[in-house]
C-alpha cells in the first residue's frame, strides 16, 4: 500500500483514506461497520436527530463527537448506543479501560478490569443436605 493512500491491488473492497459525504441513510456506507480510514458523513437537524442517526444501525463499536458543550457531550454519550466514544478526538481506546461494542459489534469486553468477565462463566450450585 502506498504511503499516500492508494488502495492495494487484489481482491477486496478497498478505499484509500476517504470522506463520503453526504451519505444517504439507507446506504451501506452508513448502515454497515467500516474499518480503516473511511468516514461516512450525514447532515442532521438537531441533537435528537444526530442521536437517532447514530443509533439507526445494528452496530455500535465506537464513535466520535465534537462539541464545545460538555453538557451536550454527556447527554449524547448517554443516548448513543456505542461501546466506545470519544469527545473531541478519535482516541477512546486505552489499555486500562474496557473496549468492546454494543449490538452486533462484539461480545464482552477486552482490556481494563472488565476483561476478565469475558473469560469467566459464573455458576451457582445449591446443594440441599437436609434429609
Q: If you search the block for the grid coordinates 477486552, which residue do you land on? A: 110
CB-based contact 29:15 (threshold 8 Å):
no
Q: Residues of 64-83 as b/e, b for ≥16 C-beta within 10 angstroms?
A: ebeeeeeeebeebeeebbbb
Q: What is the pLDDT along the chain (131 residues), one digit of tens a residue?
A: 445 556 677 777 676 788 889 888 888 888 887 777 788 888 999 999 999 999 998 888 788 889 999 999 999 999 999 888 889 987 766 666 777 777 877 766 776 677 777 667 676 777 778 87
Fold of 18-119: Aldehyde Dehydrogenase; Chain A, domain 2 (3.40.309)
Question: Whole-angstrom Cα distance, residue 63 to residue 51?
Answer: 11
Amino acid at each position: 500500500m502506498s504511503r499516500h493512500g492508494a488502495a492495494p491491488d487484489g481482491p477486496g473492497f478497498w478505499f484509500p483514506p476517504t470522506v463520503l459525504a453526504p451519505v444517504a441513510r439507507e446506504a451501506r456506507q452508513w448502515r454497515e461497520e467500516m474499518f480503516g480510514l473511511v468516514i461516512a458523513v450525514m447532515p442532521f437537524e438537531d441533537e435528537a436527530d444526530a442521536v437517532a442517526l447514530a443509533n439507526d444501525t445494528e452496530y455500535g463499536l465506537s464513535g466520535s463527537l465534537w462539541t464545545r458543550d460538555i453538557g451536550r457531550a454527556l447527554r449524547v454519550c448517554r443516548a448513543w448506543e456505542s461501546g466506545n466514544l470519544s469527545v473531541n478526538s478519535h482516541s477512546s481506546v486505552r489499555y486500562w479501560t474496557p473496549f468492546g461494542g454494543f449490538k452486533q459489534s462484539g461480545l464482552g469486553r477486552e482490556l481494563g478490569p472488565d476483561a476478565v468477565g469475558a473469560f469467566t462463566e459464573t455458576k451457582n450450585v445449591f446443594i440441599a443436605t437436609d434429609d
